[in-house]
Amino acid sequence: MEFWKKLQAIDRRWVYLVIWLVVMIPLIFPFKIKPVASPPVQSLFTYIDTLPENKGVIISVDYTPDSQAELQPMLVALLRHAFVIHRPVGVLAMALQGLGIGEDALRQVTAEINSHARTSADSVLNGRDYVYWGWTTPPITVMLGMGQRITKVFPVDYYGQKTESLPVMKRMKNYDDAGILVSVAASSFPLYWINLAQTQFGIHLGAGITAVSAADFYPYVNSGQFSGMLAGMKGAAEYEELLEQSMVKRGMDWKLRRKGTEAMSSQAAAHLAIIAFIIIGNIAFFATRRRKS
């Protein structure tokens, strides 16, 4: 009786210590994981992979650094994919604090691609192949205005260049030129994109969201309003797997770092630890209740 009672009232610091260990150890010594793509991830990947050549990809960085661990691997994988298939890319941030994250991801991915490029055509250049529009407010102005003329919403890009003068903008005038807009978000921004951009202009949308909010977005995947969805670290890891397979097929066996897949071992261990805690907690709960009755 005493044992079960004590177990139920265990000092929370022990729980914290176990969680710290199960998160840290697999980060230092990761075990091999082979993600299998779930249907929403597969459909987003296939949709982007088969975009017509004249269609661009818009990615909206709708999250802040607090959820970066989960969402940054998605942003990186999406950027890599868009550049690998040679589509014009436009990146914007709806979350002000997401500006630096977008810049960081663009810098990382363009450096990766350019380090493997053999010709000028293989490389990705700011203004020619991609544009970082940055941030402006309010969101309704951006989401509706981009459907008419993007240069009117963003007269200058994040680096202060006039967007009218950028060659890539000739291929990205408004939503008609974009094959898909993917909102990577830790909030309800993807729903605003549906309400304002998709309902008005019919643009195809994708979403990259945190695992905790996945349940909120499934109705929109089922209805077809999202062409696909990446949910949490698992979604990022599955997308990385699909992208790597596709890149190998294209002869680009670059062995790029896959942060989503790397972190999956840590996340898997944490999930198992929480499951174990719940089982132990319930055993102790029932044992105490039986003794009482």
Partner 1 sequence: MQKRLPLILVLVTGIFGAVAFFIPHHTVQSVDETFRNDVQRIIAAFSLVLGLGSILQHHLTKIQRKAENWQYSWITVITLFVSGIIGLFGGIDPTRPGILPTHIGGFSFHIQTLYMNMMVPLAATMFSMLAFFMASAAYRAFRARNFSATLLLAAAFVLMLGAVPLGRMIFHPLPSFAEWILAVPNTAAKRGINFGVQLGILATSLKILLGIERGWLGGG
Tell the smallest beta-carbon distance from residue 246 to partner 1 (Å): 22
Which is closer to partner 1, CB of 116 or CB of 218?
218
Question: Mind giving me the DSSP string for 184-220?
Answer: EESSSHHHHIIIIIIHHH---EEEEE-GGGHHHHHHH
Q: Is the Cβ of residue 8 or residue 246 nearer to partner 1 in the bound state?
A: 8
Q: Is 177 in the site for partner 1 (CB under 8 A)?
A: no
76/104 Cα distance (integer angstroms): 9
Please tell me whether residue 127 binds partner 1 under the rule CB under 8 A.
Answer: no
Query: Interface with partner 1 includes 23 (CB under 8 A)?
Result: yes
Q: Rule CB under 8 A: choose which of 5, 140, 165, 291 binds partner 1.
A: 140
Q: Smallest distance from the beta carbon of 68 to partner 1, in angstroms? A: 6
Task: Note the maximum CA span of the chain.
Answer: 79
Site string for partner 1, 215-254 (x = CB under 8 A): xx-xx-xx---------x-x--------------------
Q: How far apart are the first and last CA of the chain?
A: 12
Contact flag: residue 200 with partner 1 (CB under 8 A): yes
Q: Which residue has the tokens 């363009």?
A: 110
CB-based contacts of 184: which residues, under 8 Å, 6+ apart? 59, 60, 61, 62, 63, 71, 74, 75, 78, 207, 208, 209
**CA-based radius of gyration for the chain:** 22
Q: Which of 158, 103, 116 is nearest to 136 (CA)?
A: 158
Site residues (vs partner 1, CB under 8 A): 8, 10, 12, 15-16, 18-20, 23, 33-34, 36, 38-39, 64-69, 97, 100-101, 103-104, 136-138, 140-141, 144-145, 148, 152-153, 158-159, 200, 211, 214-216, 218-219, 221-222, 232, 234, 264, 267-268, 270-275, 277-278, 280-282, 285-286
